[in-house]
Amino acid sequence: MAPNLFVGVRTLFKPQTWFCHKAHPKRNTSIGRLEHWDSPIPGTYEYIPGRGWYLVATDSPSSIKKRQPVNYCQITKKWVLQSDFEQRSHFAIVEVSPGKQKRMGFF
């Protein structure tokens, strides 16, 4: 029994969907785009939709173990590696109103 009446009726009245022998060529599953940047580190960067930019490979012979995320710093108006950004910024808990505290970042 089909999980849905529509699926069952569609399968019953469309016999061309019963057997599928067409070999489909492999599609390019990479939906991100690659770009070469000169800063913060010269190399190849990849954009992954919904996740942001990542450093994939550098121009120098040093190897990268994994993708490194890149953040845009609105203070310096530059792209900075996330590890450098966290190293430069400081966080503190500030009392916004009586009884309410908020974690604020200082660069």
Q: If pLDDT is split at 50, 70 and 90, which confidence band does 2 have?
A: low
Please indicate, yes or no, whether the overall pTM of this predicted structure exceeds 0.85: no
pLDDT digits (tens, 9 = 90+) for 40-95: 888 899 999 989 999 998 888 776 778 899 999 888 889 999 888 888 888 888 88
Cα angle 44, 38, 65 (rounded to 5 degrees) comes to: 40
**What distance in Å separates the CA atoms of residue 49 and residue 43, rounded to the nearest whole number?**
20
Helix (H) or strand (E) holding 34: strand 33-37
Pair 89, 106: CB distance under 8 Å? yes
- How high is the pLDDT of residue 67? 87
pLDDT digits (tens, 9 = 90+) for 3-23: 788 888 888 888 877 776 665
